[in-house]
Amino acid sequence: MYAVVDIAGQQFRVTEKTKYYVPKLDEKIDAKITFNDVLMVDNDKKINFGSPFVKGAKVSAKVLEHLKDDKVIVFKKKRRTGYQKSNGHRQQLTRIEVTKIALTKETKAVKETKEVKTAKVTEAVKETETAEKTIKAKAKEETKETNNGS
């Protein structure tokens, strides 16, 4: 089972009992967090997509530590002008461990209603296609009659 979660503006594919580095969160160490912005859930090949989020799906996590990433050096240079500039930074990260991906009964009900809606849409499309075919057939008959009458 895995889920795609929006954490601090970035999307992560998470599974239970795994650790991830995410952009710095304003939580204390050993704090428990729940992410409600779940974009997709795969539960034993049953995929639930949200629009934009899956209703009733939550991802629980625990904050392990706050740290800095490796240094990124930004070097700018222009040829033949003597311009050189070196700059750098270290991105601040939070290490979390995903403890649980939870689905409620509401999530399953939403999926069923989506299936019913898609079935209704396909029926409506079929009806419009048959209506268009009959209209085209009548139009052809009328043009034949007018051409034969001339």
pLDDT tens for the chain, residues 1 to 150: 899 999 999 999 999 999 999 999 999 999 999 999 999 998 887 888 888 899 889 999 999 999 999 999 999 999 999 999 999 999 999 999 999 999 876 666 555 566 666 777 777 778 888 888 888 888 878 777 777 765
Q: Can you give the pLDDT at residue 59?
A: 94
Handedness of CA 119, 123, 125, 129 (dihedral sign): positive
Please, which residues have CB within 8 angstroms of residue 105's CB and are 6 or more apart in sequence? Answer: 56
Q: Can you give the pLDDT at residue 125?
A: 77
Q: Can you give the pLDDT at residue 51?
A: 85
CA distance 57 to 110: 11
